[in-house]
Chain A
Amino acid sequence: MLQFVNTLLTGLGQGAVYAAFALALVLIWRATRVVNFAQGAMAAFTTYLALLVVESTGSWWVGLLVALACGLVLGAGVERVVVRRVGPHNELGAVIVTLGLFVALQALASILFGAQFRSFPAPAGLEGFSVGGVTVALTPSMLITIGAVAVVLLGLVALFRFTDVGLRMRASAFDGEVARLLGVPVGRMLTLGWALAALVGSLAGVLIASGSLVWPAYMDTVIVNGFVAAVLGGLDSPGGAVVGGLAMGVILALVTGYVGADLVPLAALAVLVAVLLVRPQGLFARTAARRV
């Protein structure tokens, strides 16, 4: 029983990170109809920058801020310099370009930061809380992870629901031409969307690295799990991405706990195939979404 509860708790902690990562994918998908396969490599890159800062300043929080800021800049730069030039309706081209960014950034990280494993400090303790004399798998670090994801999520909801910029961003994503006719600078909104998504992706990168090891490819499985989470929730639905992320966290924790960690990617694949065959629009898509 305790093992089961602990597995669930671990799963929710991981799931919060997948949720953030899936959210980053969904933000970009909604804005530009591109799945950003480079998201993981971008996040790994900013996490390395954060690690440099953490090692020199000793503060995890300063490192996080640097990662978020760099994510913002990197996301905007990638959209401006690369993605925008692919042109509309070139689905295959967009996929290939993000894959190119993926390998190029990952290799660049190896060249700049080294290919070896490096440990990334945790923001707080990694000892589980003790409840009635029993230690459970809920740690202060995990609370920070979940809290950070919740703050970002609420921030995004507030941005999109209650601000004019958010409204303009949504309009640009749903119907760029109409938005332009209403005076919305759609290009700038898309850049902003990529920047925000990369910020959220960077958050996920730092959170998953914290209290653990980083190496240039450490985000590879996170890309897959985040993508599966996003598809599970419906690529168009930010709320779905969060629920999908938490669900993936729990499912994969159960597989790790009861079957074997080597088969986690296989489990992710199984979930993905099941979702795509049964309900390809995802579990939480509102309506048959606008197809371009």
Chain B
Amino acid sequence: MATPVRPTEKAGSAPRSGREPGRWAGLAARLRPRATFARHALLALVALVVVVLLLELTGPFRNSQFATMSYYAIAAAGLTVLTGLNGQISLGHGALMAVGAYTAGLLLPAGIPLLVVLVIAAGVTAVVGVIVGAAASRLKGPYLAGATLAFAVAVPGLAIHFDEALGGEQGLAVPSPRAPEWFADAVYFLSANETSSAKYLAYVGWTVAIVAFLLLANLAASRIGRIWRAVRDDEVAAELAGIRLSPVRVLAFTVSAACAGLAGGVLGVVVRLAAPTGFTIVLSISLLTAVVLGGLGSLFGAVLGSALLVFLPPAVTNLGASAGLSDVQSAQLAPFVYGAVLILVILLAPGGVVGTVRARWHARTTAPAEAPEERTGRS
């Protein structure tokens, strides 16, 4: 597979170095790795400022929506790295989020600090990811999709079977941590706002998200990221170049699973519940919708996609209600739109939002004759 994906870091630098060859290009090339990481750090800082502005300028309802968006964004980022950069599809990411959420639900009541719990949730899920990834590393396309689908359907059954520890159908209540004093003081100092629980959780979620994005962006720009893309684009060539495919695939799956676990942990504290009904196939497919719509392989696309998952359901539900549908029926409009979006994006704009915008941009800035080449990234 290879949907027309371009690594994020190329967007800015490629045209520039293309235009002034010679001395400066050589210098730029030598400085490039460090410049890339510095740019990522700068972007993270900008993102943090944007998050603070958004959270301080909006009320508790929006704050809780942003909290929800943070865990979707983390999970989608993990999935976009797996599918976009390494070419593996996973329908199991909803189930992997369940692992993170249940881990948080089991550890938080023991009085372990939230950040430690989140790290453990990511770690435990990464271990599950190693196992699933190892089983999946030899599989491709539909086989991989089917196997991860089977995984996604199997995991909620475990929660029901071991109901004494995991709460069965009802699920596991996850205590929601309170904002520490210093945090509330800091927010008050900054904006004279009181810190609601939703706001605290949104800050936690987005801080975690920004750190995760920073790590993923650096990983994608590093040698490992290049190897992932090499395996995605042409396995045979990668193998001939001395890359062993299985460990590469397992690593990608593990990193991706760790993100899902982290996201699951955040979900647990935001929703205050880890229950089997929260982690259905539809969750996995919504994540897939988010990354496909945003543009496979693009971290920024993952943020766009997760915004869709948060802000679309209330919008279409209202639309449905005003069209005379019942609440239950209106609630189903969101998954219907997800499905339609998946189909339409693949058929009409396989690059997703980011890929399509980038292709338009390239078509305008480079010679028109080169434009059609954008759509041929398939093997």
Query: Which residues in A have some Cβ–Cβ distance to B below 8 Å?
Result: 29, 34-35, 37, 82, 85-87, 89-97, 99-108, 110-111, 114-115, 217, 220-221, 223-224, 227-228, 231, 260, 262-266, 268-269, 272-273, 276-277, 280
Contacts and interface: CB of A to CB of B under 8 A. Distances in A.
Nearest to B342: A100
A7 B318 CA distance: 48
B286 to A, nearest CB: 8
Contacts of B347: 82, 85-86, 97
Interface in B237-295: 280-282, 285, 288-289, 292
Nearest to B338: A103
Contacts of B89: 92, 95-96
A82, A110, A262, A272: most-surrounded residue (chain B CB, <10 A): A262
Contacts of A107: 332-336, 339
Given A86-B346, A266-B157, A92 B141 contact: yes
A93 B140 contact: no
A79 to B, nearest CB: 13
Given A99-B288, A100-B341, A105-B339, A276 B147 contact: yes
Contacts of B292: 96
B310 interface: no
Interface stretch (B6-14, B24-32, B68-76, B148-156): B148-156
Contacts of B140: 91
B146 A272 contact: yes
A265 B157 contact: yes
B339 A265 contact: no
A102 B145 CA distance: 13
A103, A104, A277: most-surrounded residue (chain B CB, <10 A): A103
B342 A97 contact: yes
Contacts of A90: 1, 378
A260 B163 CA distance: 13
B161 interface: yes
B329 interface: yes
B45 interface: no
B343 A104 contact: yes
A265 B285 contact: no
> Which size bracket describes the interface of B in this complex?
35 or more
B105 interface: no
B29 to A, nearest CB: 32
Contacts of A266: 154, 157-158
A227 B336 CA distance: 23
Contacts of B3: 92-93
B85 to A, nearest CB: 13
B143 A276 contact: yes
B1 A103 contact: no
B325 interface: yes
Contacts of A263: 157-158, 161
Given A103-B338, A231-B143, 17 more contacts: A37-B146, A85-B347, A86-B347, A90-B378, A92-B1, A92-B141, A99-B91, A99-B145, A100-B339, A100-B342, A101-B339, A104-B338, A108-B332, A228-B150, A265-B157, A272-B146, A272-B150
Given A93-B350, A103-B335, A103-B336, A277 B288 contact: no
A248 B316 CA distance: 40
B342 A96 contact: yes
Nearest to A82: B343
A230 B48 CA distance: 49
Interface string B336-356: 101111110011001000000
Contacts of A102: 285, 339
